[in-house]
Structure 1
């Protein structure tokens, strides 16, 4: 009826240190993404499709990290990692839904940049408010029934023997290691959904950026190269951080070795990427830097 999340119990002497570090990280994530939501909402200069998607992405990051980090902080504080079967399933379901939403939303943001650079004259028409809202809503709800079904499938497996999950949250790979019997079908479903929801959006992003680069290279060297690349550099950095770590976790061969490394990789796309996103967008975007400075001064 319950599992035990080991978390970082293999280094008990650092439990309170880790609690402090992750608490500070959580505050940075909430503050950084919250500031982006605020300034892109209230400032008239930032009422463009790009900042509309960025605002939604920042809100998504707050939701995404709140699925795992508060629970991990509680486990570090209480020195206990027990979690009920229902809570574990709920955490996994929301984590998968929000993770898939992030993949789709990153693809939508790449499409936005592609239209803005490759077809600027039609950009206001293509990215009208109705289209923007539909793209965001589709990103949020497309994977809901699929991931609910996948969660139900995994938790319908028989779990016998150990109930210890060598992870800091309920994720698919460590849970499948506890299942009894033949889990080949379940593993294939994980790979198929991984390819569908991770690889396909990544290929779309890659295709959009190939078109962007080919368009930029046709421009004279002194007409907008720097500006065009600067509008994309933040998004590219976030894509590489998120997709790189997520791909290693979900599409790598199953192994019982180096589980500590798997946890470290998971930290990248669950905690560190949401933390650096506001920093990346603030440092790379002069409009966000300018408005943030004015809000600070005022």
Structure 2
């Protein structure tokens, strides 16, 4: 009887396998099936970024590219080309024009990962981008990207766009200083004021102590790349406005207005000299090109 039951069960299983053919299952990116029919979007990314710059873009969702503890959403496909076109205009082309294609191909990150939403942290801050070993850059908030020629654009959206460029310039700044370090004198300008509690400080308060943003107060390296990023994205006029906008008086840390302004100007000078002596790049020319492209996208 046992053998009969076993035989009937085996026949049932075999019958199911024959009669319930579910067909071919589509490949799932990130789970062993990273091959799919190339779409016009895939071809554009390949022809516009991979072939000329050796840069790949991953937009199809793969949770394992991100922190598994975070709740994120995929990027909208209609956002991918506008985002990468803007990155090419604002970040890639100015560096290539100033330093050459060889420089850019050698040092640029080779892999962009896109997320539609922001990555929230437990302390209430938002991670807008990360870089890993100079190879991969993760960009968040892609779905909030609007430029003036896109349907639905509002003037207030310019902040989101500038923030994305801020992240890219910031992360590329890390790649540069991790390749060749900036002068140690930079670390002495605001020594003693760096803090892990930077997220409890406003940009305005940080500037009273000689930092360009609150995040600059997190560490020496963050201070250096925040200077690079803010100077490029805001342009010379925007950076001058930040420095000149520091109010009279003394900060809670005992830094007077004139001293705070002098610190920012000293940092500016060191960034400019670093780019000139180490990378043979005219920073002010790079700054002008970058800001011009941002203005054309937003205003």
**TM-score over 0.5 for the pair:** no
Asked which structure has the greater RCO (Cα within 8 Å, sep 6+), the reply is: 1
Larger Rg, first or second structure (1 or 2)? 2
